[in-house]
Amino acid sequence: MWKPSKDNEPSWESPWGKGRPGWHLECSVMSKKYLGDKFDIHGGGRDLIFPHHENEIAQSRCANENEVFANYWVHNGFITMSNEKMAKSQGNILKINKLKNEINGQVLRLALISAHYKQALDWNDKLIKESQNTINKWYESYINLKKSVLVPEEYLNPLYDDLNTPGYIANLHKLFEKSQKGDLKDKEIFVSACNFVGLLNEDKDKWSDFKKSKVSITEKEILAKIEERNKARDSKNYKEADKIRNELLDKGISIEDKGGKTFWKIK
């Protein structure tokens, strides 16, 4: 609770000598000032459970003469890269200012909630790609909600169970499948369920603009590649045709042959 101060640190006189409050005490004081003697939710990383949070509980309960300090404790797992904890000391910190210019916010959100908050989440290109593909697929059922639409309780239940976001995402997949086969009401429920966790909160045009901004090839170049592929197919050079298709895929363009014509779209 009280630490001796080093020469370059702030200090105060006390019955135990010149010193400063310990860092456990700092949090007890801040929470009392802004939240009171007792509050609902206290968060923090799993590495803070001991000794920091246990010391907070002990000193706050004693100082405030309470049986409870916080009603609920929410301890999150770590974001890792190559299974190493993200930390300044490791030199593997991802800055949100950089990420938001490269990755759509919805994709970031889906990636982050794809694992339970208590579990570690390994940040990698595969996770981002899968999240973007999922959002892209879900936009097939997008509609602009004109009114508030209630999501049936059964689909929300995972969130009531210690914020089980992976369970909720599984339910979103079910609602999407239902929306693809059902009527307007099913689409409304699906979009509302996505909006509830901050997904599909941009209209389809904004999502299309984002996808276009990430494509590294012009429409003229796409059409030229398609013509080149058609010539390869006509000469039965299927290996070359497949190579061109894969080149376009790598640049974010998928193609489909239908009715003797080739159509393209941004993935």
Q: Say if pTM beats, i.e. exceeds, 0.85.
A: no
Cα-based torsion angle of the residue sequence 98, 100, 101, 107 in order, rounded to the nearest 10 degrees: 130
Q: Among 22, 55, 76, give the residue marking a domain's end.
A: 76
Question: Can you point out the beta strands (E) in 9-122?
Answer: 19-21, 39-45, 70-76, 79-81, 84-85, 121-122
Whether residue 52 sits in one domain with residue 141? no
Residue range(s) defining the domain that contains residue 142: 80-211
**Count of positions (residues) in the chain:** 267
Q: For residue 137, what pLDDT is reported?
A: 95
Q: What angle do CA 115, 121, 123 make, to 5 degrees?
A: 125
Q: Are residues 91 and 204 in the same domain?
A: yes
Q: Residue 57 pLDDT more than 80? A: yes
Q: pLDDT per residue over 194-235, tens digit each?
A: 999 999 999 999 998 888 887 888 889 999 999 999 999 999
pLDDT at res. 82: 74
In total, how many domains does the chain have? Answer: 3
If asked whether residues 90 and 159 sit together in one domain, one would say yes
pLDDT > 70: percent of the chain: 99
Cα separation, 135 vs 129, in Å, equals 10
**Domain ends where: 17, 50, 76?**
76
pLDDT for res 96: 77
Tell which residue, 147, 165, 148, has the closest CA to residue 157: 165
- Looking at every residue in the chain, the average pLDDT score rounds to 92
Model pLDDT, residue 114:
97
- Judge if 38 and 154 occupy the same domain: no
What is the rounded distance in angstroms from the CA atom of residue 66 to the CA atom of residue 37? 8
H or E segment and range at residue 3: strand 2-4
Q: With bands split at pLDDT 50, 70 and 90, how would you rate the model's confidence at 135?
A: very high
**Residue 183 shares a structural domain with residue 223:** no
Query: Based on the domain organization, do 63 and 84 belong to the same domain?
Result: no
Q: How many Å apart are CA 39 and CA 21, to the nearest integer? A: 22
Query: Is 182 found in the same domain as 84?
Result: yes
Specify the range with the lowest mean pLDDT, choosing from 29-38, 75-84, 122-131, 140-149. Answer: 75-84
Q: What tokens were used for 229?
A: 């592929």
Q: Say whether both 90 and 182 belong to one domain.
A: yes
Together in a domain, 206 and 241:
no
CA atoms 120, 122, 128, 131: torsion sign: negative
Give 103 or 199, the one with higher predicted confidence.
199
24/44 Cα distance (integer angstroms):
13
Same domain (yes/no): 45, 91: no
Question: 50 and 168 share a domain?
Answer: no
Of 76, 99, 132, which one is at a domain's C-terminal end?
A: 76
Instruction: Tell me the average pLDDT across 100-111.
Output: 90
**Which pLDDT score, from 0 to 100, does residue 60 have?**
97
- pLDDT at residue 70 above 90? yes
Same domain flag for 89 and 154: yes
